[in-house]
């Protein structure tokens, strides 16, 4: 009977800090991207701040790329990480579109119920 084995790449001890910081930067830059897009969409910040949000997203992608290189990701995993980054770019816009459409629908239903 074969026992399943998990093959993990060895991360050099000299790369540990870089891997740790890259993972932390992915989270931090992702949070700043989502926060900036949200504040622009809520009109709490001026529209030109969206470029700052895209800068945060670009830094997040670079951090994810660096992380993938340092942990020796396989090609499939690397492609999956980049697809997730593209999805992360679009998700705030999809979310706000869904919210705005549902608010419009709710307002229309509220107006119709008042007219009856």
The two tokens of residue 99 are 């919210």
Q: Please state at what angle helix 16-41 crosses helix 50-70, rounded to 10 degrees.
A: 160
Contact 63/26 with Cβ under 8 angstroms? yes
pLDDT in tens, 44-54: 999 999 999 99
CA angle at residue 48 from 42 to 49, to 5 degrees?
65
Of the candidates 59, 72, 61, the one whose C-alpha atom is nearest the C-alpha of residue 19 is 72
DSSP at 47: G
Q: Are 71 and 40 in contact (CB under 8 A)?
A: no
Task: Return d(Cα 1, Cα 16) in angstroms, integer.
Answer: 36
Q: Are 26 and 60 in contact (CB under 8 A)?
A: yes
**pLDDT tens digit sequence for 2-56:** 777 777 767 778 888 999 999 999 999 999 999 999 999 989 999 999 999 999 9
Give the separation between CA 65 and CA 71, rounded to whole angstroms: 10
Confidence of residue 101 (pLDDT cuts 50, 70, 90): confident
């Amino acid at each position: 009977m074969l026992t399943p084995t998990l093959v993990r790449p060895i991360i050099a001890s000299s790369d540990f800090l870089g891997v740790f910081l890259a993972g932390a930067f992915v989270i931090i830059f992702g949070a700043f991207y989502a926060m900036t897009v949200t504040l622009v969409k809520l009109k709490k910040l001026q529209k030109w701040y969206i470029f700052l949000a895209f800068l945060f997203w670009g830094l997040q992608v670079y951090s994810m790329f660096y992380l993938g290189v340092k942990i020796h990701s396989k090609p499939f995993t690397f492609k999956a990480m980049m697809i997730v980054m593209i999805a992360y770019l679009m998700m705030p816009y999809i979310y706000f579109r869904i919210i705005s459409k549902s608010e419009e629908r709710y307002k229309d239903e509220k107006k119709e119920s008042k007219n009856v």
